[in-house]
Structure 1
Amino acid sequence: MSAAQAFYPIGTPGTAWGDAERDEWRSRQSRRRSYESDVLARIEQLRGRFDVEHYGCLDYPPDRYPLFAVRSREWNDDLPIALVTGGVHGYETSGVHGALQFLDRHAADFAGRINLLVVPCVSPWGYERVNRWNPDAVDPNRSFREGGGSAEADALMKLVAPLRERVLVHIDLHETTDSDESEFRPAKAARDGESFEAGEIPDGFYTVGDSENPQPEFQTAVIEAVAKVTHIAPADRNGEIIGSPVVAPGVINYPVRQLALCAGITDARYTTTTEVYPDSPRATAEQCNAAQAAAVCAALEFALAHR
């Protein structure tokens, strides 16, 4: 019996969860913050400056969650498109609030230069319960494919589908937290009936590029901008971050489409997944939000300069 399976309170070691285990897991999740107050109220405040689109609704009885995207008011079909997504993993707080901060404080700098499509909170059920998964114990960020099993991913893919060939740059805002190691990776191992091997949480910001289209200069531009706001994660003793080789300071690559990650949902030339570390003693919540906004700004500036 592995250490994680020994302590994780749901399921039988070595056996994947069934309906009963998923029901038990769901029963343990409780609302810890408000999507309506934290996110919808702030989107409502943006209506005077942006077009707000209701692109779907998640029906998780007794709760229903309307989904909203924020668009440039002066949308121009002659301009390229920038897609910004936050809260694909609802518990990753700065992804949501960094996207909202970008809209409020920085989006005006790009008016008339690029069309913005920003989805601040892809997974509101997870946001409220500070969880990585949706109510079916499905990870939305491994579900951006047909039949992926995530209503959150399906709704976003439907929204983006008409535009996917015109997107120049996509920034997907995430966090790596201590709870990844203490809760979510052990939960995944228990859910899948697998053993859990402890890993190491990097202390600092890093980006994940697409191994099929890595764009190293683009990734470096994002890292350099964020380094002015918060610290960048160093490689571990194996030259890796979360088990992947570091290809440049603060940069690793994943096969994003193979893994059905959000960063692979368009044909964008430039894509990155940001990873902030909010549990660092060297970073505040304000810095984490500012780091996400800085990453978006740097990504857009680079993409516009290298079209």
Structure 2
Amino acid sequence: MVKIANYTCGKDSPFLWIAGPCVMESRELILRVADELAAFAQRQKIQLVFKSSFDKANRTSGKSFRGPGLQEGLKLLEEVRQRTGLPVTTDVHETHQAEAAGQVVDIIQIPAFLARQTDLLLTAGKSGKAVNVKKGQFMAPWDMKNVVAKIRETGNPNLMLTERGSTFGYGNLVNDMRAIPWMQDLGCPVIFDATHSVQTPGSQGDRTGGDRRMVPYLAKAAVAAGCDGIFVETHPNPDQALSDGPNMIPLDEFPRLVEVCQRIRSALREPTEESHS
């Protein structure tokens, strides 16, 4: 079981949602989305962590929008945390970013392309905050055992792993839902990244494409496979987003996705004695 602020994530814990815009486009956008997600989480009594990136360092083109940078981005995440009461998370790409982020966020996220970067993993682990490592698109689920070992060397027990698709030929990702129980066997809760899993890397020349229509299908399948949480990026107008627009779901569609997935999750629970009487 992983502790995240006042939440827990794991087999016997409430389902976890990680949601927000891909990148911090503006303060106005971030606060708008955070406010709406916080209000929804409070109404539905769900565990929700707000996510957005201060720097998208692995963009396809060097000319693509990357975000406001470390200092401004962390200030904005702190504002979201204070304003909404939601735990927050962001991804880091370098050790100095992990050290700084550890002072603000509740979960330090390691991007899939960096899942094997030892110094980054160790710095994140030593922060004492929960760490979420996305499985590399180039890695088998069982290879994540070495990632788990590196984090545990730091003495940090709060580690989650995320399934986000595997490279399939050129410009496509596929999901093997067996990755969820296989990685859970490593002793960690497993989150399913429903939006990055629908990417088609580099398919738009200088940008990554995707098919957001597939997000609900994959999310529902992952919940049925027993994942401990869902990661989903959302935006008021994905077609106008500055990063990962083709993969994000519209903000007004997020509640329906949560409703359906929570019903699937409830159906998976072991029947009580009363239900047999």
TM-score range, shorter chain: 0.3 to 0.5
* TM-score (normalised: structure 1): 0.34
In the superposition, the TM-score normalised over structure 2's length comes to 0.36
